[in-house]
Amino acid sequence: MNVSEAVASRMSVRAFLDTPVDGALLRQTIAKAARAASGGNLQPWALHVLAGDPLRDFLTGMKLRLATGEPGTTEFPIYPPSLKEPYRSRRFDVGKQMYDRMAIAYEDKAARLAWLENNYAFFGAPVGMFCYVDREMGAAQWSDLGMYLATLALLLREAGLDCCFQEAWARYHPEVDAAVTPAPGHMLFCGVAIGYRDPDAPVNALQSLRAPLDEFATFRGI
């Protein structure tokens, strides 16, 4: 698989097979991704990976936590508090497309919330990873996290794997912290579900649309 094929086939997979992921392959892929661009070579990402019994124990605890009905809170805004256009429409449209594929009416808030709880089971993936960053880092270093994670996603595709980036986990950072014991001063950015996509799951038929080139790029002299 070349890079273009990995980019074209990468997607946010929200239903995984229970097929185990080889530990050596996963370690190799996570290590390769560290060649991602990093301003000043700070490499500000800190990763914690769970699988097998540690993952099952953690998810069992999360299920009990969710059953309390008490919402979690993030330490940073996942989205700006008031999205303007075209960002608002993009977010709304992809959400509606996803629910349409699962025959969930967008107006059915209860059904949508029930589906969203699948986030906190890593969508059935056999591997869950958490990405942390030192609190002393600024916006430029947070962009480095994105570059690392994007590189990881493409290398996972090369290895025949898939993933889903989940900032939703930031809502439950105290529970995640307790499970992975991050270094002092580190804060949770996101979770990452990793595994093999379920090809028969309707939700995995969604391929989100992207804006045309002339909507986000200008060219002069070329």
Q: Residue 115 pLDDT more than 90?
A: no
Structural domain contains residue 198: yes
Structural domain contains residue 99: no
Structural domain contains residue 175: yes
Three-class SS state of 12: strand
Q: Residue 48 pLDDT more than 90?
A: yes
| 166: number of Cβ within 10 Å | 21
Structural domain contains residue 180: yes
Residues 6+ away with beta carbon under 8 Å from 217: none
Q: How many domains are contained in the chain?
A: 1
Selection from 93, 96, 131, 91 nearest residue 115 by Cα: 96
Give the pTM. 0.95
Eight-class DSSP state of 197: B
Structural domain contains residue 90: no
Structural domain contains residue 33: yes
Question: For residue 46, what are the domain limits?
Answer: 3-76+120-206
CATH number of the domain to which 39 belongs: 3.40.109.10
* Helices and strands, counts by H and E, the chain: 8, 4
pLDDT digits (tens, 9 = 90+) for 166-214: 999 999 999 999 999 999 999 999 999 999 999 999 999 999 999 999 9
Structural domain contains residue 219: no
Structural domain contains residue 214: no
| 171: number of Cβ within 10 Å | 18
